[in-house]
Amino acid sequence: DTGVSQDPRHKITKRGQNVTFRCDPISEHNRLYWYRQTLGQGPEFLTYFQNEAQLEKSRLLSDRFSAERPKGSFSTLEIQRTEQGDSAMYLCASSVPKGLAPHNEQFFGPGTRLTVL
């Protein structure tokens, strides 16, 4: 297994367009996380899944953001009607639970860099 993969690595779009990013987690990992990272900042948690269930989505930035993980494997993050402020790196991570800890070590993908013109 080569780790968490994300596609595309770079996306340039015009304001108002919709974009969708894909994340493929490490195969045996049942937890999948989405983050946004802007320059000079730490990752900002957006949402996470356990298998196909989206357990936390209150931190999604607006109703223009949505995420799915229909079969509990890969996940997609969609941004509708993009705005220039959406320009950022979007990171995906996956993990497996360990003991009672709600979150264990997360393995991060390389990210998708979004530029909204």
Partner 1 sequence: AQKVTQAQTEISVVEKEDVTLDCVYETRDTTYYLFWYKQPPSGELVFLIRRNSFDEQNEISGRYSWNFQKSTSSFNFTITASQVVDSAVYFCALSEAGNQFYFGTGTSLTVIP
Which of 57, 64 has the CB closer to partner 1? 57
DSSP 84: G
Helix (H) or strand (E) holding 35: strand 31-37
Which of 45, 80 has the CB closer to partner 1? 45
Per-position x/- string for 10-49, each x denoting binding to partner 1 as judged by CB under 8 A, each - no binding: -----------------------x-x----xxxxxx--x-
Instruction: Decide if residue 108 touches partner 1 (CB under 8 A).
Output: yes
Q: What sign does the CA torsion over 110, 23, 58, 72 have?
A: negative
Among 32, 106, 112, 114, binds partner 1 (CB under 8 A): 106
Amino acid at residue number 84 = Q
- Count of positions on this chain that bind partner 1 (CB under 8 A): 27
What Å distances lie between residue 31 and 27, 38, 59, 62, CA to CA?
A: 10, 23, 17, 22
Amino acid at residue number 40 = G
Binding to partner 1, residues 53-72 (CB under 8 A): 55-56, 58-59
